[in-house]
């Protein structure tokens, strides 16, 4: 009985996704706009680069295979990316991400420079410390004849 309800939930979820895929409206148009635009741009660049790679690797001289298939996949990928950022569940997530990002207290330029300097100095100190131990252990192993 539980398996049947799980299957029906999965099929209704797929049906809702497919129905939403062919819907052109925007979900909560004014909320989370910047986060949705950046997410769409990231997905679009990924799709574009994939289609460009497909176009470059197409060995066929046929224009359909060289231009038509990558162009069609590009259009389909961009439409799916557009619809993805407007799916209610995903849009609500992106809206909440943007709301949380507005609550973050970002460091000033001076705090950022100071923090970066502390990190760089600590890394250099630890690198020197580890290099010293490496040199000492190499000398010990050479003295014992373990390493040539």
Q: How far apart are CA 7 and CA 76, in angstroms?
A: 28
Residue 6 in this model has a pLDDT that exceeds 60? no
The helix/strand/coil state of 26 is: coil
Q: Average of pLDDT values for 70-95?
A: 89
Nearest to 98 by CA among 32, 2, 144, 43: 32
Q: How far apart are CA 139 and CA 125, in angstroms?
A: 21
Confidence of residue 68 (pLDDT cuts 50, 70, 90): confident
Q: How far apart are CA 39 and CA 120, in angstroms?
A: 32
pLDDT at residue 10, as a whole number: 60
Positive or negative, the CA dihedral 73, 75, 78, 83 is negative
Confidence of residue 67 (pLDDT cuts 50, 70, 90): confident
Positive or negative, the CA dihedral 84, 86, 90, 96 is positive
Q: The whole model's pTM is what?
A: 0.60
Q: How far apart are CA 23 and CA 132, in angstroms?
A: 64
pLDDT digits (tens, 9 = 90+) for 128-147: 999 999 999 999 999 998 87
Cβ(40)–Cβ(82) under 8 Å? yes
């Amino acid at each position: 009985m539980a398996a049947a309800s799980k299957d029906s939930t999965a099929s209704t979820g797929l049906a809702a996704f497919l129905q939403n895929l062919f819907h052109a409206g925007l979900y909560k148009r004014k909320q989370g706009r910047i986060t949705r635009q950046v997410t769409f741009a990231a997905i679009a660049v990924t799709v574009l680069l994939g289609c460009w790679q497909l176009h470059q690797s197409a060995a066929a001289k046929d224009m359909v295979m060289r231009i038509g298939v990558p162009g069609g996949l590009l259009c389909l990928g961009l439409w799916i990316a557009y619809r993805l950022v407007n799916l209610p569940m995903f849009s609500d997530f992106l809206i909440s991400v943007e709301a949380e990002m507005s609550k973050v207290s970002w460091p000033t330029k001076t705090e950022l420079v100071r923090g970066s300097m502390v990190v760089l100095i600590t890394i250099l100190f630890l690198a020197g410390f580890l290099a010293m131990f490496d040199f000492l252990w190499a000398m010990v192993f050479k003295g014992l004849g373990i390493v040539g």
